[in-house]
Structure 1
Amino acid sequence: MSKQLKYASAISICLTLVTTIFTAAGSRAAVQDLQVPAIEAQGASPVIFPSRSAASVQPAAAQQAATHSASSAVDAPEADAPETLAELVDETAVPAALSSELNCLAGAIYFEAKSETLDGQLAVGRVVVERSKSGRFPASYCGVVYQPSQFSFVRGHAMPPINKGSRDWAEAVKIAQIADKGAWKSPAEGAMYFHAARVSPRWGKVRLARVDNHIFYR
């Protein structure tokens, strides 16, 4: 081999080595450049996207809790509920105006039992209510009260005058509202007939109770 050829071969080998070194260095630099953002990304706070199942479970749990709370509220007894009929009467307001139906119901209570206890007045009021719901009597309070030959105080399809400024009338109005709503159980609940205790009609009916001066039947 000539001297010039040897020299050219040596130069070629050196260039190859230099190219290889620079290529490797560039590759490492590129890899490092790629890895830096990845490392920084690993150090960043993770972003968590809720799964579909978690999103659906949370509203269901909230709904169940709300339902439980509502149920507890319904089932819980009222702390200030009246313990006696007298307390309920005291808490019941007298409205400025009465409907015709409540006026008929209060009138029956007033004329039949205004001199009796609250229990006796309520028992009379509940008879009128029960009759109106029975299907065997008129379907309204006024129809029950004014049905011929049922209430002795009715004269010519009318009631006698009432002192509507009296305490007895105010009490009858309160009892009428309680009887209408079924807010208190009567001592003769379910009765649809009654008569004064001083008489003894031959009725083939089931006796329920005597309350004050009346005996009640169904």
Structure 2
Amino acid sequence: MAFAMPEADPTAGPKTLGFLKELPGALADKLIQRSHAVDHPAGSVIFRGEGGVHVALVMSGLLRSYLSAPDGRQITYRYARAGDLIGTLDLAGLDVSRRVQSITPSRLLHFDAVQLERLAKREPALAWQMIEELADRLVQAYRTLAMRSFATVRWRVARDIIERAVAAGDLREGAHVRLTHQEVADATGSVREVAARAIRVLRRDGMIATARPGVAILDLDRLLHEAGLGA
């Protein structure tokens, strides 16, 4: 299977989550001391692409990172859950903004970006974690570009359903994936009518079923194959 299920414990303390658990204890403590935890309700846009750098660690919940164009079109390039690092960079000069939205009620540990940069310049362990994070973001950027340029809407919708299930920690036959047609359209860079048509085709072919609010996965192997993730 192409996706590994996330293993982070959303009830754990911040030092046991994500990149913090890979750092020496004293260094992790420095970052945590200057950070602050915030609870964000479902549907809230946490980072709106304002100037500067914003960085946070997901302690619980499910979020999406996406690009938004001036005409309202969106495309999701990543889902994040407990243990993942999220944030935005300054995209000055581009006609798109990079945003983060909570899908479920979420708790984030917001870091002091200035302190994070300063420590990364003198602490190799932290610098390496940031390099790995940026490398992962680059891979996601290439994947989003390829998906938007070459993939069919049906492929994109199947992939989005799989990624939502993985991010929720429940990729299996019978799993309920919460979504609306508009959310799928926003996630895949399409429009509601076209996304709804692709969902109907996947339902007609027996891969998913309607399970309001959202869908249920009926045939996981075929859905993975449809999304280009099959063996």
Q: Which has the higher helix share?
A: 1
Q: Compare CA radii of gyration and give the structure with the larger one.
A: 1
For the aligned pair, the TM-score class normalised by the smaller chain equals under 0.3
Q: Which has the higher strand share?
A: 2
Q: Greater RCO between the two (CA within 8 Å, min separation 6)?
A: 2
- The two structures have a TM-score, normalised by structure 1, of 0.25
